[in-house]
Amino acid sequence: MKFHIMRKITTLLLILLITILLAGVSVEAKETRPNILLIVADDLGYSDIGSYGGKINTPVLDQLAKEGIGFSNFHVLPTCSPTRSALLSGNDNHVAGMGVMGEFIYPEIKGLPGYVGHLADRVATIPEILRSSGYHTYMTGKWHLGEDDEQSPFKRGFEETFTMMNGGGSHWADMKPLSPHEPMIYRRNGKRLAELPKDFYSTKDYTDLMMGFIERNKDDGKPFFAYLSYTAPHDPLHAPAEYIAKYKGKFDEGWDALRWKRLENLKKLGLIPKDLNEFPPNLMTTKWETLSAEEKKVYARDMEVYAAMVDYMDMSIGRLFKFLKENGLYDNTMIVFFSDNGANGAHATSYPGNADGKYLGTFNNEIENRGLPNSFIDMGAGWAQAASAPFRMFKSFTAEGGIKSPLIVKLPGEMANKGQWNHSFLHVTDIMPTFLELAGAIYPETANGKPFKKPIGKSITPILTGGKERIHENQGMGYELFEMKAYIQDEWKLLRLPVPFGTGVWELYNLREDPGEMHDISEKYPEKKAGLLKAWQQYAVQNEVFDHKGRFDAMYRKAYGVEK
């Protein structure tokens, strides 16, 4: 009898042991696929954060750069929604439906496949693919890829969303828009919200909600893809008063001095040539020394608010990282951070409907209220150009200041090449293939019997793991947005900016030697220029680029208040 009892006990213990071992194998198998956290800032300048030479307080992002890799030559699109369409689809913005921003569609292009003004159906998105591969998919923040129910992120693969559908607007609960023609729209899982919590502040709430989404399913063993799409530091510039106070007097020297400081800091980091001692001209900027004392006071305050927004965003990212660490999720999470385009040099009067000043006149922009509720202030060209140092122009232009962004990437666990820089050309379309490779997911060939457009980007995993230094050798990348055009191949760049922002004709630059695009070398290398121009023309045909015939050249001159 005792023998039978002992045998039963032994059998039960063996079964229990096998169960535990199998459970361990199951958990281990689930944990081999990483979580993916994608953080995108809105209109952040190239040299704003500490690891890229700025002096704004960003300890969390600076630490992330020490744990991961910093990329000095990462390129996006000139404005928000085209970048986001390329990011989520891995495709050119025209293929993804955003040949222009939805706000600027006009009769001649309405209905063309590349100009639908929302994320097109002929591309698959990161969340659609990852969700079908077993990932949770979450999004909070700015969408800007279509405002209707059927165009919402909830319909494009995200299972939990809290999103602002527009390009921008108040960061507070009042939901005051960029212009009276475009009311702010917030959606929770596709459903439009009538109001926001009274204590709402965009950066705070986007972060809190994202942590809530992750918390809800953290123990079910499935990995997550989290897209945290901040609207900071997009105008109107808004920040909590205590954060603005931290920067009191920090920018009193003005934007010219800041530009030189950023230049020297980037030299020390080895991100630009050490012999670079000049800046490209910008007809939209004014010398700081020519301003009145009152003007200097107002502009300095505006930059204090901008810095406060970046500081608060960094702190909020730190709260999210702390949450992940406390829940045992950080070590198995891939983290990607970048900005959707360069700093924004346009004034609020450039938004449709604001030129007459009536709407903007309803705000309280007295010095003590600038950056607080019921104010509407912007960065302006002077500060935007300083934040884009040493590059030419800023947001909205295909010059380097508009399309070059900081990029920090950290793989799960400890990286062997952590803290290093990579200087090879990368493009925003490379993000999707990277995520899919790490997740073991495959881009679908068809949907509803129709073929999807395959991504044009390449996975950067070989760079992240130390196997390669570059992935785009001899492979070019074309650009067109609002008639701003470019083509980049290795260190060579073909650029066309309309008069008076440029010459109105194609120019050739060597970005390795001349990152500020100051010295056109077309005459010196005519064959190189001809080859790149032919490549751009092929790009335009392949991506169904429409010839706007000067329409947007005129729009730009009006928006920036300049003449030919």
Catalytic residue, candidates 80, 136, 171, 427? 80
3 state SS of 149: helix
502-509: Cβ within 8 A, 24+ apart? 502/399, 504/553, 506/533, 508/532
- Burial label for 106, CB within 10 Å (0-12, 13-18, 19+), is exposed
Q: How far apart are CA 315 and CA 561, in angstroms?
A: 36
| Amino acid identity, position 479 | Y
Q: Taking every pair of C-alpha atoms in the chain, what is the biggest distance, in angstroms?
A: 104
Residue 186, Ramachandran bin (φ over 0: left; ψ between -120 and 50: alpha; else beta): beta
User: What's phi and psi for 59, nearest 5 deg?
Assistant: -65, -30
Q: How far apart are CA 271 and CA 422, in angstroms?
A: 10
Pairing relationship of beta strands 186-188 and 404-410 according to DSSP bridges = unpaired
How many Cβ atoms are within 10 Å of 417's Cβ, its own excluded?
A: 14
Q: Which two tokens stand for residue 4?
A: 């039978």
Distances (CA, A) of 345 to 19, 214, 377, 382, 388: 62, 36, 12, 7, 10
Angle in degrees, CA 69, 71, 75, rounded to 5? 145
Catalytic residue, candidates 75, 94, 118, 144? 144
Residue 169 DSSP label: B
3 state SS of 227: strand
Q: How far apart are CA 497 and CA 326, in angstroms?
A: 49
Q: Exposure pattern of 471-506 as b/e (b: 16+ CB <10 Å)?
A: bbeeebbbbbbbbbbbbbbbebbbbbbbebbbeeeb
| 144 labelled catalytic | yes
Structural contact between residues 422 and 469, judged by C-beta atoms closer than 8 angstroms: yes
Short-list 193, 205, 191, CA closest to 141: 205
Tell me the catalytic residues: 80, 144
